Amino acid sequence: MNKYLLNGLYFLFAIIIISAFAFKLFQPIKVLPRMQLAPAFNLTDQNDARLTSEELRGKFVLYNFTYVNCPAPCYNLNKTMQEVQTRLSEAELGDIQVEFITISFDPDRDTSAVLRTYADSIGADTKQWSFATNTNKALLKTIIGSGFETYYEDKGDGKFAFDPSFVLVDGWGIVRAEYRYQTEVSDADRIIRHLSVLAEEVRNSTGTAKLAYEAAHLFLCYAP
């Protein structure tokens, strides 16, 4: 093969490898991983109205899972939800709407009326934050346990053992982040940061910019 052509090819490969390495090293674009499909559901909210996964398409949704009779730790989970809701303007969301949904895994006691009273008692802004459940316990276990991968177990004495967590789902119904409740650092800070990252990706989800974002997914350039 012609010496110049061969050198040209080496040069070309070197540029590609350097470019890819530079992209991975400097990570000019950050994304959140597309972890899995969020489960579909049909729940009943605090106003006894239907709440389905389908009507949440196009919105970012932050979920958490609890029960009304939960002692102390749940108070902190609610505080985080409230903090994110209050500080939402920091997230540079543009036109993208965010919903907050707390799903109760105790449908026997957490009726719509009980959930409504609970929402009022913690001062939740229910225009944006819904409290919901489903009386079909097997299906609820599928949705929360398998779909959202959040462990909970009825201990039989009116209490539940569960992993406190938040799950962030994008407008396509894909889980983009999971937050296993931490006491040392604020989950709210991370959630707000992640909402910004996600909104930026949505704004750049067409044309040439999309290619750059897909490259960021390919190179695992994940936001901390």
Cβ at position 170, least distance to another protein in Å: 10
- Within residues 118-137, the interface with another protein by CB under 8 A covers 136
Q: Is 174 in the site for another protein (CB under 8 A)?
A: yes
The residue (of 54 and 95) whose beta carbon lies closer to another protein is 54
x/- letters, 52..71, toward another protein (CB under 8 A): xxx-----------------
The residue (of 110 and 170) whose beta carbon lies closer to another protein is 170
Q: Is 8 in the site for another protein (CB under 8 A)?
A: yes
Among 24, 87, 137, 217, binds another protein (CB under 8 A): 217
Q: Is 184 in the site for another protein (CB under 8 A)?
A: no
Number of chain residues interacting with another protein (CB under 8 A): 36
The residue (of 13 and 75) whose beta carbon lies closer to another protein is 13
Among 68, 104, 118, 147, binds another protein (CB under 8 A): 147
Side-chain-side CA neighbours of residue 44 (13 Å)? 15
Alpha-carbon distance 145 to 127, whole Å? 27
Cβ at position 79, least distance to another protein in Å: 30
